[in-house]
Amino acid sequence: MSRARWVPLALAWGVLVLCGLPALAITLSRALASTDLRAVRLAAFAPFGVVLYALCLVAILVLVLLAAGRGRIRLAVVAGVVALLLAVHVAWQAPFYAGSRATSAGEPLTVMTTNLLEGKGDIDAVVDAVRANKVDVLAVQEITAEALGKLTAALGDQLPYRAGQAAPGTMGTMLFADRPITKARRIETSMGSWAADVGEWRVVVAHPAPPTLAVWPAEQELIIEEAAAEKPDLLLGDLNASLDHHTTRRLLDDADLQDAARASNAGWQPTWPAEGFAGVPLPPATAIDHVLIGDSLVALATETVEVPGSDHLALVAYLGSPEG
């Protein structure tokens, strides 16, 4: 075999194997809705399936062109399967970019959620984002007593009402608002979640365990059950799950909620890990921080905000009231 033919063949097979195997693992993890924690972690990367299958499709088409006889036919069939899997992943991600966007009437509402990584997140960056975006409701996860003191001192004029509990490490969760917070109660996730009335809205701030802990399935179920019972107008926080996890999709269905980023066609907005993997400076790869809304609110836009020192980007959502 000539070098001119051998090199593209080797490259094409290499791409097919290196991209195809992880792509198939991600697809199966997402489709089978497994609670096995390895599958849960893989499902979080379902958006990357679009790129992986696109590369596989290019590679398999190169092989089709270089093949002959029955080998070409078999490879063409494989190309069809790869194209189908690519279409499946595109369909899974398309709602973030295309669909009907609601319009708003009445007073706007801006909400923000941020995870401070055991209180290490830059409080000044959080304060700047709250002030610049005129945030009305702020949810903070992994808030320590020191971070609470700084936020209270800096935002006492803009967000004078608060509920929840600051705690060491990852255990603190709090809610801040520009209107009275009443009927607050703790939801017993290991890292602390809360439900409360914020003015006219019922709000849940959720922070269930990450999928590195065995309690992940149970705490996801707890959030689903609580939200289905509460029927909140607003649920926000670090859900440690993306919309590619079956638990989040069930949460939307059972509690009649919409994801604000998807409802506003904001596109894929990954929020974690903001500081890369294992010391390698890579961009965020999965969208696990969410703002979810009920029928009493509409989503106009969402955006992420960098908080130095935290492994999460903050998420800001611009909301309004439905017309009519």
pLDDT score recorded for residue 71? 82
Assess whether 239 and 266 both reside in one domain.
yes
Q: Are residue 165 and residue 244 in the same domain, yes or no?
A: yes
Q: Look at residues 44, 77, 96 and tell me which one is the last residue of a structural domain.
A: 96
84 and 148: one domain? no
Regarding whether 85 and 114 lie in a shared domain, the answer is: no
What's the sign of the alpha-carbon dihedral 133, 135, 138, 143?
positive
The predicted structure's pLDDT at residue 66: 85
Q: Return the residue matching tokens 């989040």.
A: 248
Structural domain boundaries enclosing 53: 3-96
- From 30, 61, 96, the end of a domain falls on 96
What digits encode the pLDDT tens for the residues 222-271? 999 999 999 999 999 999 999 999 999 999 999 999 999 999 999 999 99
DSSP lists the bridge partners of residue 75 as: none
Q: Average pLDDT over the chain, rounded to whole?
A: 94
Give the tokens for residue 42. Answer: 């893989």
User: Which of 35, 68, 96 finishes a domain?
Assistant: 96
The pLDDT tens digits of the residues spanning 5-52 come to 677 788 988 999 999 999 999 999 999 999 999 999 999 999 999 999
State the pLDDT confidence band at 67, using cuts at 50, 70 and 90. confident
Co-location of 215 and 92 in the same domain: no
C-alpha neighbours within 13 Å on the C-beta side of residue 118? 2
> Nearest-CA neighbor of 264 among 94, 101, 112?
101
Q: How far, in Å, CA of 139 to CA of 165, rounded?
A: 12
Same domain, 79 and 109: no
Quickly state the pLDDT bin for 2 (edges 50, 70, 90): low
DSSP one-letter code for 118 = T
If asked whether residues 64 and 122 sit together in one domain, one would say no
Residues 198 and 292 in one domain: yes
Q: Are residues 129 and 150 in the same domain?
A: yes
* 4: confidence class by pLDDT, cuts 50, 70, 90: low
Q: How far apart are CA 85 and CA 316, in angstroms?
A: 33
Residue 86 and residue 206 share a domain: no
Question: Do the beta carbons of residue 319 and residue 102 sit within 8 Å?
Answer: no
- What would the pLDDT profile of 87-104 be if each residue is shown by its tens digit? 999 999 999 998 666 666
Spatial contact of 258 and 299, defined as CB atoms under 8 Å apart: yes
39-43, 60-64, 110-114, 120-124: least confidently modelled range? 60-64
Is the domain of 144 the same as that of 28? no
Write down the pLDDT at residue 3.
59
In this structure, are 265 and 213 located in the same domain? Answer: yes
Picking from 50-59, 62-71, 143-152, which range would have the lowest pLDDT averaged per residue?
62-71
Could you give the number of structural domains in the chain?
A: 2
pTM of the full structure? 0.93
Is there a contact between 112 and 130 (Cβ–Cβ < 8 Å)? yes
The CA distance from 289 to 304, in Å, is 10
CATH assignment at residue 148: 3.60.10.10
Q: What is the DSSP string of 135-196?
A: -SEEEEES--HHHHHHHHHHHTTT--EEEEE--TTTT-EEEEESS-EEEEEEE--TT-EEEE
- Tens digit of pLDDT for each residue in 127-143? 999 999 999 999 999 99
